[in-house]
């Protein structure tokens, strides 16, 4: 009798143990405990700026083509570093002109302002410290911290 009662209690305990996750999921559909209710979805910044979806797709295509052309310039061994910089500058200028044919400067400014406003409302997650020194150019070359082509002070001539 005692053995039967122990066996029954163990079976009930095992059933409850296995059923607990399923019961918990149906009782609280949100995982992770208490969550803040989501804010209503905002319309895309492009829409706020008056830019059509097709115009944004054209802009992305121009940017993608420009990146491919820049990569081609970077991989051209016949060009000197100065020639590469000049060619890349021209490609950027050409891309800006093409984009302005699709999206007006006013729309671009409105898009940028909207994106900055939303980025400020959602600070980035903490991660590694941001590098404050020079950087990398479009061809992967190191750019010193004070580069006159990047708006830094002119290097001193000896």
158 vs 155: CA distance, rounded Å: 10
Q: Over the chain, what is the mean pLDDT?
A: 78
Per-residue pLDDT of 109-124, as tens digits, reads: 999 999 999 888 887 7
Q: What is the DSSP string of 2-54?
A: HHHHHHHHHHHHHHHHHHHHHHHHHH--STTS--PPPPPPPPPHHHHTT--HH
Which residue, 46, 55, 66, 62, is CA-closest to 103? 55
72 vs 69: CA distance, rounded Å: 5
Please give the model's pTM, rounded to 2 decimal places.
Answer: 0.59
| H or E element in which residue 143 lies | strand 142-143
39 vs 42: CA distance, rounded Å: 8
Instruction: Look at 5 and 95; give whichever has higher pLDDT.
Output: 95
Residue 94's φ and ψ, nearest 5 degrees, are -60, -40
87 vs 84: CA distance, rounded Å: 5
Per-residue pLDDT of 14-58, as tens digits, reads: 565 566 565 555 545 555 556 767 778 888 999 999 999 999 999
């Amino acid at each position: 009798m005692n053995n039967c009662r122990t066996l029954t209690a163990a079976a009930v305990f095992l059933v409850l143990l296995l059923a607990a996750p399923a019961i918990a999921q149906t009782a609280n559909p949100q995982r992770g405990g208490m969550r803040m209710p989501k804010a209503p979805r905002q319309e895309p910044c492009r829409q706020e700026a008056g830019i059509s979806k097709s115009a944004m797709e054209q802009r992305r295509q121009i940017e993608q083509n420009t990146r491919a052309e820049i990569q081609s310039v970077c991989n051209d061994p016949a060009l000197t570093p100065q020639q590469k910089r000049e060619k890349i500058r021209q490609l950027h200028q050409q891309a800006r002109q093409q984009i302005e044919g699709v999206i007006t400067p006013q729309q671009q400014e409105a898009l940028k302002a909207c994106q900055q406003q939303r980025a400020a409302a959602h600070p980035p997650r903490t991660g590694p410290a941001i590098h404050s020194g020079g950087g990398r150019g479009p061809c992967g070359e190191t750019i010193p911290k004070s580069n006159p082509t990047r708006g830094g002070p002119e290097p001193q001539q000896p």
